Structure 1
Amino acid sequence: MSKKPVLDKFDKLPPEAKKEANDFVEFLYDQYVKSTSKKTKQPISESSFVGMWKDRSDLSNSSAWVKKQRQTQWTKR
């Protein structure tokens, strides 16, 4: 894609349309360029969510906890 035809058309726009086009380009830049440059991939093990329930004694046996939740929530009353 060549820039020249786009710039030629841009130059022919009235000032308010140029501002709108510029705002749209800024929006696209933020969506596709800025956002991808900020993302740094890290292992899931370094996520702040890992270990957030480590101190909960009621979850020491997660299978038993889930079973209890299902029994209390899914039984007909």
Structure 2
Amino acid sequence: MIQTARMEKEQVWLEFSTLPLDAQYQVLEFMLFLHARYTLQRETAEAQKTKLSDEPFVGIWKDREEMRDSGIYVRTLRQQEWGSDS
């Protein structure tokens, strides 16, 4: 019987070949199910990867004059909100 999570290919084949034919078909169907599931997950994850620079919100404030120097802009906001140069 299966004792460890890692088995050699020969041991896996031996375990598989001693199963009844119906059980072998079930194992094969389950393997196909797992293969399809993880292939789909991998393809979905790869399709969802996008570069940050391709996101629609990047650059939406590029033409705002008051934000031309972001450091000055943030300092001004802080002064207005908290009354200091934090």
Scaled to the shorter chain, the TM-score interval is 0.3 to 0.5
TM-score normalised according to structure 1 size: 0.47
Return the index of the structure with the highest Cα Rg.
2
